[in-house]
Structure 1
Amino acid sequence: MTKLSVNINKVATLRNSRGGNKPNLLQVALDCEKFGAQGITVHPRPDERHIRYQDVYDLKAAIGTEFNIEGNCKEQKFVDLVLANKPAQVTLVPDELGQITSNHGWDTIKHQSYLQEIVAMFKEAGIRVSIFVDPDLKMVEAAATTGTDRIELYTEVYANQHKKNPEIAIKPYIIAAIRANELGLGLNAGHDLDLHNLHYFYQQIPNLLEVSIGHALISDALYLGLEETIRQYRAQLA
């Protein structure tokens, strides 16, 4: 089964735009679980423009499904936050300061030593580790030597090309997924997956364990409602 983890960053963005607590981020997370989400993902950033650090503590104390915290592990505050909350999974993303959204994976060759150290630290704390990577064989192979449990394939390129030619769009992801399986890496995916491209991706990628979806899912919920949207996304993974 491929799990659906709902990224609730956009809900926090809406809340923060007016101050106060509308929409209630914690309630949305609990409703996502009630409606069928199998995980909750957050990606706190240093400026707290969406997810606040306190949100992470509040969510950890309340949700019952898998909790996935994404972020730049080169920020000590992020590392401290993850260690303090011990989520089911931490996803290491090479964001730059002020970056609007994630737009590339790790260079797992260049940062090999660093990744080995940070992965070992999180795993020692009992946290499953996933490294955000592009669908590049060299990056996948180098990720395997860091000790990480999983990789998350960055899927924006797939999503953009899928509109024109799904077969060409998916090809590098299939190759990367097969190699990850051979190396014993668990496989996640995320970024710009939506109701138009998710099912094809799911069908083609072997042993896909989890997808993390936020922007598209929350946008669809404005029209379909949150419960129906989660139902439809879950249907794409069946």
Structure 2
Amino acid sequence: MKIDVITLFPEMIEGGLGSSLIHRAEEAGLVQIRPRNFRQFAVNKHGHVDDYPYGGGAGMLLRVEPLVKAIEEAKADARGSKSLTILMDPAGEKFDQAMAIDFSTYDQLIFVCGHYEGYDERIKPYVDKEVSIGDVVLTGGELPAMVMIDATVRLLDDVLGNADSTVDESHMGGLLEYPQYTRPKEFRGEKVPDVLLSGHHENIAKWRHQQSLLKTAKKRPDLLASYPLTEEDLAFLADHAIYLADQAHSKD
């Protein structure tokens, strides 16, 4: 996969993604991350890429010409590939695990990182998707882009080294991940649940599923609204006086 990041601060991308699994994935040739400084397409010799907004208002807007030229250059370098151009925008669609999975199916991703007060609206026809990491405004799009890149790259084949590593993670199957334990068996009076030491794989799988249900019901009950709960799941949650009472309360 080729990932282009259109930014005024390529050093942020290089420093932020130049270590850990992402760096190893680059070294292994699984992904190529290319920061592109769109200041090279500045509109004058002073390197200006922004200007005052028509109609007045605070701050400066990024001009459309440098951004579009940078996008076009990135696309030209991967012509014929399955490509997606993503605009970092606090008003965009909220990023989630399903979107990361979708991103991981592309040959090329182009992230466009804004700065200052925002973009000239005429950038929109040149992007495929406008995305946000949540209801928060940051100084630039580099940090959200890095979050999305990390979430996406780790899904690529061979990046984690174990194809099963992502299967049971939070949000992958609609539930939060179950609690996990390692050595020692006991720490300050807190013991590892006996079922995990039993070696009985069916019971372990059942316990993990039920713990995922409990964790999701307590921390993210909204996720259960779209999860296909079975009669057994509902009975289990009812036994713990969780979720059903919350659902009844929400209808009052």
Same fold (TM over 0.5): no
- Give the alignment's TM-score, normalised by structure 1: 0.28
- Give the alignment's TM-score, normalised by structure 2: 0.27
Using CA pairs under 8 Å that are at least 6 residues apart, name the structure with larger relative contact order, 1 or 2.
1
